[in-house]
Structure 1
Amino acid sequence: MNRPRTAWLFLAPALLVLGVFFVLPVIAALALSLTDYDLYALANIHNLRFVGLHNYWMLLQRPLFWSALGNTFYFVAVGVPLSIGASLGTALLLNSPLARMKPFYRTVLFAPVVTTVVAVAVIWRYLFNTKYGLVNYGLAELGLHPVDWLGDPHWAMPTIIAFAVWKNFGYNMIIFLAGLQAIPPELYEAARIDGATAPRQFWHITLPMLKPTMVMVMVLTVAGYFQLFAEPYVMTEGGPLQSTVSVLYLMYEDGFKWWNLGVASAVAFLLFGIIFAVTMLLLRLSRRGAPA
C-alpha cells in the first residue's frame, strides 16, 4: 500500500465527519437561501418555490437589514480595538518581571471566557438595571443621576460592548502573553544597553515582534464580534428601538420567530460574505510594508 493511499485512509474518518456535519449543511443552507422556504413549506414541501436571488435583493432593500448591519459594524468598530487594547495591556502587565501571583491573575482574568454567556449576561442585566442595579447605586452614591443603560438607545450598545470586552478579552490576553514570552530577552537587553527607553522598546521591539500574533488576534476577534447575538438576545432583545439588533439577531428572528428560513439563510450568507471581505482586507493591510 503506497503512502498517499494510507494517508487518505487515516484522513477519511475526519473528512467524513466534516463532510456530513459541515460541508453538507452549508450547501443545504446555500440552496435554502435561493428558495422561499417558510412555515408553509414546512407544512407541505410542495409549497417550496425556487426564487433565485430574490431573498438577497429584498434584504438589500430592507431598512432593518441596513440598521442591523450598522449596529454590527458599530459593535465591531468600537469593541474590537477596546478588546485588543485591554488584552494587550493586561498581557504586558502579566509579562512584567515586577508582577506577582501571575498564575492567579491569569486564571481570574481568563475566567469570564469560560463562563456561560447567557448566565453572565443575565447578571449584567441586573447590574445595569435602572431602578435597583448596582451600577446606578454607585452613581447615586456619587451624586449622579441614574442612567437607563439598557433602555436608552444611546447607552444600550455601549453597555453591550462593555460586557463583550469584559467577557472575551481574557482569551486574547493568553495569546498575547504567549507571544510576549516568545520574544527573545536579548533584544531588550541590547536595547537597554543602547539607551532605549521603555516606550521605544515597546514601539521598536514588542510591537514588530508581536505583529503575527496581532494579526491573528485581530482576525479572530473581528470574525467573532461580527457574530453578535447572545448579548442583545439576553440583555435587550434587540431594543430599545432596534438599536441593538445585529445581523445575526435578525437572522434568528427571520428564521425562528417568523419561520422565513430562506430569508434567514440569505442573511447568514450575506454575513459570511461581509466577514470574508473584512478578513481579506485585514490580511492585505497586514502584509503592507512586510518584507518580500
Structure 2
Amino acid sequence: MQKRVPLTTSPPRPRWSYARFQQHFAPYIFTSPFFILFLIFGLFPLGFSLFLAFHLWSPLDGLGNWQYVGWENFQLALGARDQFWAALKNTVFIGLLAGVPQHLVALPLAFVIHQSLRRWQGAVSTVLFLPYITNAVAITIVFGMLYSERLGLLNYLISGLGLDPVRWLGNPSMVPYSVAMVVFWRYVGWNVVLYLSGLQAISEDVYEAATVDGASSWQKFFYITLPLLRPMMFYAFTLTIVGNMQLFEEPYILLGQSGGSGGAGLTSATHIFNVAFRDLDMGYASAMSWLLFLAIFVLSMVNNYLFSRGGGRS
C-alpha cells in the first residue's frame, strides 16, 4: 500500500483588522508629523548650513551654483581684520552686564517672595513675568524713547539733578550698558519664576528643622536654599548663556544694523544677519554661525563643570 505524503501548506495570512492597524501602524502615523517637520525645519537647515560653511554662495545665484572654498570662510571669520571677534567680544560683555545682575537680583527676590509673600506669590510672579511675555519690539521701542538724549525721561530726571544729559545710545562706552539694561529688565522676572519653582520643590521640613536649631533667614538662604537650588541654578544659568550669546532683537532695534556708535552694540547674531541678508554671503554667515555655536558649547561646558564640582550636580 502506497504511503501518502502530507501536502505542505503556507500559514494563512492574517486578515486586516482595525485592532491590528492600531497596534502596529497607528503609532508611527500619529508620530510621523513631528519627524517630518523636524526633518524639514530642523535637521535639513542644520545640514545645509554646515554644507554652505565650506562654500561660497549667494541666494541670487540659485541652487547648485556654489563654489567649494574649504576652510576659507572660517579663516576669514577668525582673521584679525574681520568684525567677528569684535562682535563676539561685545556679545560676551553685554551678556555679562545683563546676565550676572539678573541672577544676583532674581535669586534673593525669589527667596523673599517664597518666605514672606506667600499670600501674594501668584500676583507678584505674574507682574514680574509680564516683561518676558511682552513683545520684544514694543519693549525696545519704549526703552529707546526713555534713552532719547533730548526728550527721554532718564535725561529729564538727570537734568533735574543738575547733571548733563547722557548720550545713552550715542556714546560707545554707554551703549553696552543701555542694551544690557533692556535685557535685564526683560528676563529678570523669568529667572524669578524659575527660582520660585525650585524653591517650592524644597521640603518645608528642612526649613522647620533649621528654625528649631535657631537658624536665621540668611543662614537658611546660604546653607539650605543655595545647595538645594543648584540644579535649578544650573538650568537658569544655561538658558542665560544660550540666550545672551544669541542676542539680536534688543540691539538691532535700538541701534540698527551697524550696532550704534562705534559698533559698540554689534552682537554676533547681528553681524551674522548683516552678512547673510545684507551682503548675501551665505557661506561666510554659515561659518560664523557654527563658530558661534562652538562658543556657546564651550561656555555651556564651563558652566556644567562649575556646577558639577563637589558633587553638586549628577
For Structure 1 versus Structure 2, the TM-score category normalised by the shorter chain is: over 0.9
Residue 33 of structure 1 corresponds to 53
The secondary structure found in structure 1 opposite 2:105 is helix
The secondary structure found in structure 2 opposite 1:131 is coil
Matched, 1:22 2:11: no
Matched, 1:54 2:75: no
1:32·1:265 contact (CA, 8 Å) conserved in 2?
Answer: yes
Q: For residue 226 of structure 1, report the CA deviation from its aligned partner.
A: 0.4
Residue 200 of structure 1 corresponds to 219
Q: For residue 198 of structure 1, report the CA deviation from its aligned partner.
A: 1.6
Question: Residues 4 and 55 (structure 1 numbering): CA distance in 2 closer, same or farther, change over 3 Å?
Answer: farther
Residue 274 of structure 2 corresponds to 253
For 1:244 and 1:204, locate their aligned partners in 2 and report how far apart those are by CA, in whole Å.
Answer: 39
Question: Residues 85 and 3 (structure 1 numbering): CA distance in 2 closer, same or farther, change over 3 Å?
Answer: farther
Please, which moves more after superposition, 74-83 or 232-241? Answer: 74-83
Deviations 1:85-141 (A, max 9, x none): 222132123212346533222221111111111111011001011111000001111
Matched, 1:263 2:284: yes
For 2:181 and 2:108, locate their aligned partners in 1 and report how far apart those are by CA, in whole Å.
Answer: 16
2:84·2:268 contact (CA, 8 Å) conserved in 1?
Answer: yes
2:57·2:283 contact (CA, 8 Å) conserved in 1?
Answer: yes
Matched, 1:220 2:234: no
1:93·1:99 contact (CA, 8 Å) conserved in 2?
Answer: no
Matched, 1:75 2:94: yes
Question: Residues 56 and 3 (structure 1 numbering): CA distance in 2 closer, same or farther, change over 3 Å?
Answer: farther
- Partner of residue 281 from structure 1, selected from 302, 311, 314: 302
- Partner of residue 188 from structure 1, selected from 207, 222, 228: 207
Q: For residue 6 of structure 1, report the CA deviation from its aligned partner.
A: 7.1
Matched, 1:13 2:33: yes
Residue 311 of structure 2 corresponds to 290
For 1:26 and 1:252, locate their aligned partners in 2 and report how far apart those are by CA, in whole Å.
Answer: 16
Q: Which has the larger helix fraction?
A: 1
- From the CA coordinates, give the structure whose radius of gyration is larger: 2
Matched to 2:131, the amino acid is P
Deviations 1:164-201 (A, max 9, x none): 01011111211110111111111111111112222111
Deviations 1:45-97 (A, max 9, x none): 56520111110111100341111011011012222111122221321232123
- Write the mapping of 1:227-238 to structure 2, written as runs, cut at 5 A: 227-237=246-256, 238=259
Matched to 2:236, the amino acid is V
Q: Which stretches in structure 2 are left out of the alignment for 5+ residues?
A: 1-19
For 1:4 and 1:174, locate their aligned partners in 2 and report how far apart those are by CA, in whole Å.
Answer: 43
TM-score where L is the length of structure 1: 0.93
Q: Which stretches in structure 1 are left out of the alignment for 5+ residues?
A: none
Identity of aligned residues (%): 32
Residue 155 of structure 2 corresponds to 136
Alignment RMSD: 2.0
Matched to 2:110, the amino acid is A
2:76·2:82 contact (CA, 8 Å) conserved in 1?
Answer: no
Find runs of 4+ consecutive structure 1 residues off by over 6 angstroms.
1-6
Q: For residue 228 of structure 1, report the CA deviation from its aligned partner.
A: 0.8
Q: For residue 142 of structure 1, report the CA deviation from its aligned partner.
A: 1.6
For 1:241 and 1:15, locate their aligned partners in 2 and report how far apart those are by CA, in whole Å.
Answer: 45
Matched to 1:264, the amino acid is A
Matched to 1:34, the amino acid is F
Question: Residues 4 and 27 (structure 1 numbering): CA distance in 2 closer, same or farther, change over 3 Å?
Answer: farther
Please, which moves more after superposition, 162-171 or 71-80? Answer: 71-80
Matched, 1:166 2:164: no
Q: For residue 235 of structure 1, report the CA deviation from its aligned partner.
A: 0.6
Residue 119 of structure 1 corresponds to 138
